[in-house]
Amino acid sequence: MTSETSTLVGAVLEKKLPPQRIDENVQAIQQALLRHSRHLREADFNAIHPDDLQLLFRLYDEAFFDGECARALQGRKLNFRLSPRMTRAGGTTARLVSRAGTVSYEISIAISMLFDGFATRDREASVGGLPCPSRVDALQHIFEHELVHLIELLCWGRSDCSAGRFQEIANRFFRHRAHTHNLVTRSERARASGIGVGSRVRFTFENREVTGRVNRITKRATVLVEDPEGERFSDGLRYRRYYVPIAALKPEV
Ligand SMILES: [Zn+2]
């Protein structure tokens, strides 16, 4: 173990901040992020860039670990990614080894989950057992979870958020009380609004209210609307397909 790594291991295993100080740090990081980001300007932001994750890393590393995470990287690269397709986990952290044997690290954050959550009428989402009144709170708590993964990878070469060591670190540094992400997911949102595959729904399309039946739910809902110009389906009728964000659907009763 190098001296940079053992310094981080020491800090990670021993440091304990008072709960109030943790909350103050997290709030100060939020203020700094909203002030300095070129993309993320409000608590329920609509744009984010990998640079914002880089900024979060620097802010968290300074506030909680005195910059020891960056030092423990020892020049190895840490890349940040926004993943639009990941729909289950809030994020992932990986240790990558190139063919030439070069080690790098990568933190990915699932932006689809962030942007799907926090629409009006959603129940309050939580991450790590912490309530997230706004999108930036969720981003921070997901990032904290991924940062603990990175720290474990740097210190011990492996990381597991269902194991005791991870949960103890996540709790002591960030007050996480659970290791599951409980963000509102698309299918959950659809269920909460009473919409599922087979539901009759209505929505507005080009200023016209149309009704149809939900055929599929992925990133959006596929709604089949009867239309003489549409394609013929197995029931002998013709339908046109509409791809509609779930939040724009209303159950038809
Ligand atoms: Zn995890």
From 156, 184, 212, give the residue that closes a domain. 184
Q: pLDDT by residue (tens digit) across 163-221?
A: 999 999 999 999 998 766 555 555 555 666 667 777 888 888 877 888 888 887 776 77
On whether the CB atoms of residues 84 and 17 are closer than 8 A, the answer is: no
The answer on pLDDT for 123 being more than 60 is no
- Cα 149 to ligand 1 centroid, rounded to whole Å: 7
- Cα 146 to ligand 1 centroid, rounded to whole Å: 7
Q: What pLDDT does 33 receive? A: 97
Residues 6+ apart with CB under 8 A from 235: none
Note whether 123 and 70 are same-domain residues.
Answer: yes
Q: What pLDDT does 183 receive? A: 59
Note whether 43 and 131 are same-domain residues.
Answer: yes
Judged by DSSP in three states, 242 sits in strand
Q: How much of the chain, in percent, has pLDDT values that exceed 70?
A: 88
Q: pLDDT band at residue 100, thresholds of 50, 70 and 90? A: very high
- Cα 249 to ligand 1 centroid, rounded to whole Å: 32
* Residue, of 5 and 209, whose pLDDT is higher: 5
d(CA 19, CA 171): 10
Q: Identify which of 130, 133, 139 has the alpha carbon closest to the alpha carbon of residue 174.
A: 130
**DSSP for residue 140:** H
Q: Cβ atoms within 10 A of the Cβ of 4, count?
A: 16
- Cα 201 to ligand 1 centroid, rounded to whole Å: 36
Note whether 226 and 180 are same-domain residues.
Answer: no
Q: What pLDDT does 155 receive? A: 96
- Cα 72 to ligand 1 centroid, rounded to whole Å: 21
Measure CA of the first residue to CA of the last residue in the chain; give whole Å: 65
From 131, 152, 184, give the residue that closes a domain. 184
- Report the domain count for the chain: 2
Note whether 231 and 106 are same-domain residues.
Answer: no
- Cα 181 to ligand 1 centroid, rounded to whole Å: 9
Residue 29 host element (H or E): helix 19-36
Note whether 198 and 174 are same-domain residues.
Answer: no
Q: Mean of the per-residue pLDDT values for the chain?
A: 86
Note whether 91 and 153 are same-domain residues.
Answer: yes
Note whether 56 and 121 are same-domain residues.
Answer: yes
- Cα 167 to ligand 1 centroid, rounded to whole Å: 10
Note whether 93 and 154 are same-domain residues.
Answer: yes
- pTM for this prediction: 0.73
- Cα 197 to ligand 1 centroid, rounded to whole Å: 30
- Cα 244 to ligand 1 centroid, rounded to whole Å: 31
Note whether 233 and 123 are same-domain residues.
Answer: no
* Residue, of 115 and 165, whose pLDDT is higher: 165
Q: pLDDT band at residue 29, thresholds of 50, 70 and 90? A: very high
Note whether 149 and 64 are same-domain residues.
Answer: yes
**DSSP for residue 54:** H
Note whether 117 and 222 are same-domain residues.
Answer: no
On whether the CB atoms of residues 111 and 48 are closer than 8 A, the answer is: yes
Note whether 156 and 57 are same-domain residues.
Answer: yes
Structural tokens at position 119: 């629409």
From 184, 209, 236, give the residue that closes a domain. 184
Q: Tell me which residue range forms the domain holding 239.
A: 188-251
